[in-house]
C-alpha cells in the first residue's frame, strides 16, 4: 500500500502540482475545518452506505461509493505525504513526494502502535487529509472559508 501511494504521489507531484498545493493550503491554513469536514463526511458516508446495502438494487452503488471514499482517503494521505515532502532536503518534487509518503505511512503505523491516543491521532490525520480533499474538490479549487457578515 505504501509503495502504491508513493507512486501515485510521485505521479501527482509531476503532473498535478497545483492540485497538491491547493490541498496543502487547506491543511495548513484551516486544519480544524478540514478535520471537521473529514469527520462529517466519514460519518455520513458510513450511514448512507449501510442504508444502501439494505436494498439489493443499491448494493452496487454502495460498493462504488465505498471505492470512491477509499480513493479520496488515499488521496488525502498522498497529499499529507506531499506536504511532508516540502521539508525534505530533496530538490525534485516526485522523489520528495514519494519519500514524504513513506514517512507519513511509517508515522501512521507508529502512531497505531500506541493503544488509544495514537489511534486517535492517526485517525485525525487521515480525516484532516480527507476533509482537505473534500473542501478543495480533490484539489481543483482553493478553499476559501465563508466570511460572516459584520
How do residues 132-141 score in pLDDT, each as one tens digit? Answer: 999 999 999 9
Q: Is the pTM of this model over 0.85?
A: yes
CA distances from 118 to 41, 102, 113 (A): 22, 18, 7
**pLDDT band, very low/low/confident/very high, at 130 (cuts 50, 70, 90):** very high
> What is the number of H-type helices and E-type strands within the chain?
6, 0
The full set of domain ranges for the chain reads 2-10+18-135
* DSSP sequence for 71-89: HHHHHHHHHHHHHHHTTSS
Amino acid at each position: 500500500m505504501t509503495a502504491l501511494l508513493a507512486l501515485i504521489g510521485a505521479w501527482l507531484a509531476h503532473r498535478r502540482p497545483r492540485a497538491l498545493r491547493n490541498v496543502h493550503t487547506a491543511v495548513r491554513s484551516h486544519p480544524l475545518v478540514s478535520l471537521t469536514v473529514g469527520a462529517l463526511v466519514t460519518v455520513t458516508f458510513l450511514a448512507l452506505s449501510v442504508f444502501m446495502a439494505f436494498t439489493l438494487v443499491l448494493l452496487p452503488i454502495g460498493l462504488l461509493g465505498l471505492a470512491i471514499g477509499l480513493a479520496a482517503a488515499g488521496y488525502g494521505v498522498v497529499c499529507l505525504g506531499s506536504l511532508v515532502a516540502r521539508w525534505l532536503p530533496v530538490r525534485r518534487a516526485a522523489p520528495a513526494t514519494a519519500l514524504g509518503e513513506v514517512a507519513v505511512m511509517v508515522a501512521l503505523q507508529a502512531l497505531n502502535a500506541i493503544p488509544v491516543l495514537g489511534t486517535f491521532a492517526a485517525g485525525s490525520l487521515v480525516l484532516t487529509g480527507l476533509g482537505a480533499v473534500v473542501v478543495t474538490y480533490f484539489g481543483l479549487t482553493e478553499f476559501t472559508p465563508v466570511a460572516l457578515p459584520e
